[in-house]
Structure 1
Amino acid sequence: MKTTKCFLQWTSLFIGCILLHISTVHAQSGLPDNPDFYNEVNTYVNPVLPGDHPDPTLLRVGNDFYHCGSSFHFTPYLPIYHSKDMVHWQVISRVVPPSKSNWVADKPSGGIWQGAITYFYGSYWIYFSSNGQWFSKASAPAGPWSDPVQVKTNPATGSLGYDNSIFVDDDGKPYMVIKNGQKVNRIQALGRDGQLTDTVINLDWINAKLQYSWAEGPVMCKRNGYYYYFPAGDVAGGQYALRGTALTSDSTKWERLGNFFKPITDPNVSFRSPNHIAAPVQLEDGTWWTIGQSYERVGSNDWSGMGRQTSLYQVIWEGDRPWGVAPVSTPVVKPNLPKSGIRWRSVHTDYFESDSLKTWWHFLSRKMASHYSLSARKGWIRLTPDTARIHLVQKETDHYYTALTRVEVNAADNFTKAGIYLTNGNQQVFAQLYSGYDNGKKIIFKLDTAIRSIPNRYGNTVWLKLVRMEHDLTAFCSGDGKTWTALGAPISAVGIDKVQPNYNSWVGTSVGLFAEGKPADFDLFVCKDGTSWLPAAGYSNYYGVEKIKQGSELTVTNNSTYGGWFMIAGVELGTEKNPTAAVEITASATNGGKLEIWLDDLKEGQMIAVVPVTSTGNKNTRRTFKATIKNVSGQHDIIVKLAAGLSRDIYIRDIRFIKSK
């Protein structure tokens, strides 16, 4: 009896541990263990705007959402983002072109701050800061936007400062929420002409004793008759809330509520200091949401160099007290909004076939914006430097990618260079992979004092490929874009990726193209090349899977019997003339099963392949498994779906696609 009783006790304990483990896996995200989450993309992982997206503002008009923020010296200034679900975003316009910004300080830390997008009196408006407050106006966010108009002030209102926002009351009356220096916080109404009107509402008491550090980037919303005022601390973090019964300067009508965000309990959160939130918005289902910025860092793994990345947070109410849900490292249920049809935010492919430059590109100085041509050579872009480096870049969004280009340049002297460019915001730390010259024509890879080079045996036209594996960069070159030669061992990019002096001039890293010395022609730019091996660990969204370290490599497996999925954003699958014809996956499996490959979504997307995975004997022995694909092209979010059944059976290391020719 004692033996039987002991056996039953140990059996109960063993089963209990298993159940506890299973429940823990799913409780990490606070989500119910619902099979729907494994078969549809109903969740997201922050940040929804990866890469440099500082000082975010958010506008809801009907079923559409718009975002803008500070662009600083990145020009054309003030990109406008559009979304249908607040998770997937795309740039639809830029407000201030270089030709209309002669008064803007064209230098790192300068440029245009704020970018407060709003809608009132039947028009869309952007209010922004650059040597004063300005606004532009449009009938639609896609533009065209009017020429900037300076906002006039007066002695009573004082300097209009920076990091302002716009609050529109229930009666449709708009107000500018003014921030200047550490101690000036004020509100004043706006007229139909966009200028200040009425008398100023002085809230300087809010930060008179520096209670909130800088109390910067204040935004407002209204609910149940209460006015809510949300100041941020400073660039390093801090977000606070106040509640008022009236729009008044009388401090007795306001209550300090303390911190806005709930305390963080997830030790793996990499965006630990969210602040500078946008004014919370309410959806049709009654839920409230906001977006906010944060630098990325976990322990010594520092990605602050990428800039302030923007995440989506639900706002919950305890009575009339708002709380931002604490950041987590796990999936979060998406807002109850329709599918957007917009891809996950990532660096865009460009074959330069358009007559005009796409809105996802920017320059790091106003002068450089006039040194390119899309007409000099059809299907190519020509960068023409003067005495300085000409560059064309996008905001870097990922920790894993393979960027490639095809460049033609006659590098006959030490001053001529052209290729791929990865730089911090003020171009003080950067990596260059280029066709150049150093005692003969060479392919050169350089980051700070680290240099790799090989003789250029290809001629004036060469393919270049830069592979990022987290903080390691590896360079390759080719004559045909198919057979590649490595330029030696990887170079560490920690100097670019880590926190920078003066917070990297307030901006993050950019990746793209550059030329020096002579004009150079570029045939294309791809940042997530699908024909190169894509690490499974580089996913941007997921559910029901986890990363497992096997030796020195990371693999991905499902941690539930319901299966699981992960999404790699923005993968380039080729052109219609040379589409993808097959997919390969490197994996190990104890028993094996099937992997489904989907484009863009598990419900409204397209399943393009089923990859059979057979047993490799154990989880440490890997093989490559292959399936054919019927003519798929373009840039897509790739979703790998693991079937229901055994958990932790198939371990996926990477995936790549093979073109038809």
Structure 2
Amino acid sequence: MKTFKNPILPGFYPDPSICRVGEDYYLVTSSFEYFPGVPIFHSKDLVHWQQIGHVLNRPSQLDLDGTPCSRGIYAPTIRYHDGLFYIITTFVESKTGARRNFYVTASDPAGQWSNPNWLETAVGIDPSLFFDEDGKVYYTGNRKPPSGQTHLKHNEIWLQELDLEKKELVGPTYSLWDGALKNAHAQEAPHLYKINGWYYLLIAEGGTGFTHAVTVARSKKITGPYESAKANPILTHRHLGRHYPISNIGHADIVQTQAGDWWMVCLGSRPFGGPYRNLGRESFLVPFIWENDWPVINPGKGIVEMEMPFPNLPEKKWPAKQACDSFDAPHLGMEWNFIRTPRGDYWSLQERPGHLRLKLKKETIMEEKNPAFIGRRQQHMNFLASTVMEFAPTKEEEVAGLVLLQNHQYQFRMEYTVEKDQKVIRLIKREDGSEKVLAKSALNASKLFLQVEAQGQDYHFYYGTSPEQMNVLKEKVNGAILSTDISGGFVGAYIGMYVSSNGAESDQHADFDWFEYRGIE
């Protein structure tokens, strides 16, 4: 029997939402404080996915200035109707401030997507759109119950009609459901479907951590009342323990194939080296069937497995992504991200062709700002990342090198700089805002090769003046601080190139000739 391996999108790709148009499938995920926002993927077989762009790739669409870590863009939903793609999502502006919802549209999912249509009266997070058979369009989201919360994080799912011509919510609001479980909390991620005469409301509850779960209710009327499935939660892994290979399964969306089969995408994590989830929340795929007009996930097992039967679809593999980016293209590859909306002319692929030039900024990666950092997701438990850099620091404030990043308070920086008129390469561990130099070596080099190798939670750092002569900077560094289990938040680990003048004036830059990232056995 042909099988596939989960996750279908490894690394920090949480909150998947999916739609089908003919024989084509499209999937989007959350992006939080990273820019461009909302990566979008295309597949023919539900297993092999190729990124075709970012939905929010213009500063006019996404202003992340001042957005704290693990805020920003939450839980997009993608839908297709009458020749147009719709993506609706939440922009969380601050730790305690507004949660604003908006949608964008495009005729081509690869872009360009419209500027945001803000729904100023839409409260809550994780919105979704539903196009009913009578032509009406509905918005669903979550909110505090109008009658008041009975316990911490008690929410309900609510509904209101959306007028696409006016681009605003109209008419009465309806309370639909506040979850399946007694004292349920963090009811969110609602998706509505109409199947065989029933309206189904699929939601997440229990929070996005270990107790995450998928629950479902149904009604003959879109406004309710909704009947909770007696089998709820229909999908969770919280009963399997914290050391099960896949944890915190939840936040799901469903799709029917052209062959008539049903599949669910959901988020989950793969803990390793203990209950640590450096890779963040990833996207998984699981089949389900219908029994008595209720969904039954992975019949006979009820869980998401690492290896599962391949969908009944023609397999379509995409060309393999090159492990090494030589920065020869006129644009950055889709795997690269900035932290927040890039401000200032601080990077270039044209000033020195064949190189990525990063110009030193005053901003640092230890602040919730837009530092001179370009990075990509860690997608493997075991990986090798390396680069070659040309950099000539003259001040102690000037640094350049590699960063392994969870957020501004939890990171490893392998940076080249000046200390007391001597050039050095050093490894700094930043944990909960406190810094410690783990290793340091004097080095005077115009060209510097940097390498990080991870074997589970053991991270090894190397440097050299040629790839044939690499020196140990520090080995067996525990990487668990790159997990949200220690750092908090909702994102996964990144690795990338970074420069800064640490608040000082500088006209320096660093040139990176190539960057290689690959998983290793």
TM-score by length of 1: 0.67
Amino acid at match of 1:87: V
Distance 2:468 2:133 in 1: 60
Match of 2:517 in 1: 527
Decide whether the 8 Å contact of 2:279 with 2:380 is kept in 1. Answer: no
| Structure 2 portions without partners, runs of 5+ | 92-98, 145-153, 365-371, 431-435, 502-507
Answering whether residue 188 of structure 2 is matched by residue 216 of structure 1, we say: yes
Match of 1:511 in 2: 495
Larger Rg over CA atoms: 1
Answering whether residue 414 of structure 2 is matched by residue 433 of structure 1, we say: yes
> Shift in Å at residue 127 of structure 1?
1.1
Answering whether residue 26 of structure 2 is matched by residue 51 of structure 1, we say: no
Match of 1:294 in 2: 268
| Structure 1 portions without partners, runs of 5+ | 1-36, 154-158, 536-661
Distance 2:229 2:493 in 1: 40
Amino acid at match of 2:107: S
Give the number of the structure with larger relative contact order, counting CA–CA contacts within 8 Å between residues 6 or more apart.
2
Answering whether residue 69 of structure 2 is matched by residue 108 of structure 1, we say: yes
Match of 1:453 in 2: 440
> Shift in Å at residue 211 of structure 1?
4.3
- SS of 1:275's equivalent in the other structure is strand
Answering whether residue 359 of structure 2 is matched by residue 398 of structure 1, we say: no
Amino acid at match of 1:311: F
Decide whether the 8 Å contact of 1:399 with 1:468 is kept in 2. Answer: yes
CA offset digits 1:388-438 (Å, max 9, x no partner): 1311011211111110101011023322221221110x2211112232223
What does 1:459-498 correspond to in 2, within 5 Å? 459-497=445-483
Distance 1:303 1:273 in 2: 12
Distance 2:250 2:446 in 1: 48
Match of 1:306 in 2: 279
Decide whether the 8 Å contact of 2:64 with 2:341 is kept in 1. Answer: no
- SS of 2:325's equivalent in the other structure is coil
> Shift in Å at residue 481 of structure 1?
2.0
Decide whether the 8 Å contact of 1:304 with 1:497 is kept in 2. Answer: yes
Match of 1:176 in 2: 139
> Shift in Å at residue 500 of structure 1?
3.2
Distance 2:28 2:279 in 1: 18
Distance 1:262 1:208 in 2: 13
- SS of 1:132's equivalent in the other structure is strand
Give the 3 Å change call, closer, same or farther, for CA 387–103 of structure 1 in structure 2: closer
Decide whether the 8 Å contact of 1:52 with 1:307 is kept in 2. Answer: yes
- SS of 1:412's equivalent in the other structure is coil
Amino acid at match of 1:169: D
State the superposition RMSD in angstroms: 2.7
Match of 1:282 in 2: 256
> Shift in Å at residue 258 of structure 1?
1.8
Give the 3 Å change call, closer, same or farther, for CA 333–120 of structure 1 in structure 2: same
> Shift in Å at residue 371 of structure 1?
2.2
> Shift in Å at residue 386 of structure 1?
1.7
- SS of 1:79's equivalent in the other structure is strand
Match of 2:115 in 1: 147
Give the 3 Å change call, closer, same or farther, for CA 238–338 of structure 1 in structure 2: same
Answering whether residue 83 of structure 2 is matched by residue 122 of structure 1, we say: yes
Match of 1:206 in 2: 178
Give the 3 Å change call, closer, same or farther, for CA 259–82 of structure 1 in structure 2: same
**464-473 or 258-267, which moves further after superposition?**
258-267
Distance 1:70 1:96 in 2: 11
Distance 1:322 1:388 in 2: 50
Distance 1:203 1:254 in 2: 14
Answering whether residue 130 of structure 2 is matched by residue 167 of structure 1, we say: yes
Amino acid at match of 2:189: G
Amino acid at match of 2:271: R
Give the 3 Å change call, closer, same or farther, for CA 498–118 of structure 1 in structure 2: closer
- SS of 1:495's equivalent in the other structure is helix
The correspondence for 1:358, drawn from 323, 333, 337, is 333
- SS of 1:500's equivalent in the other structure is helix
Distance 1:364 1:60 in 2: 31
CA offset digits 1:361-401 (Å, max 9, x no partner): 11122245752111111011111132113110112111111
The correspondence for 1:384, drawn from 335, 356, 359, is 359
Decide whether the 8 Å contact of 1:264 with 1:328 is kept in 2. Answer: no
**488-497 or 374-383, which moves further after superposition?**
488-497
CA offset digits 1:243-263 (Å, max 9, x no partner): 212212335x67665211277
Distance 1:119 1:213 in 2: 30
Distance 2:383 2:165 in 1: 47
Aligned length: 478
> Shift in Å at residue 202 of structure 1?
1.2
What does 1:611-630 correspond to in 2, within 5 Å? none
Give the 3 Å change call, closer, same or farther, for CA 342–137 of structure 1 in structure 2: same
Decide whether the 8 Å contact of 2:33 with 2:64 is kept in 1. Answer: no
Answering whether residue 66 of structure 2 is matched by residue 91 of structure 1, we say: no
Distance 2:25 2:66 in 1: 30
Match of 2:150 in 1: none
> Shift in Å at residue 103 of structure 1?
7.3
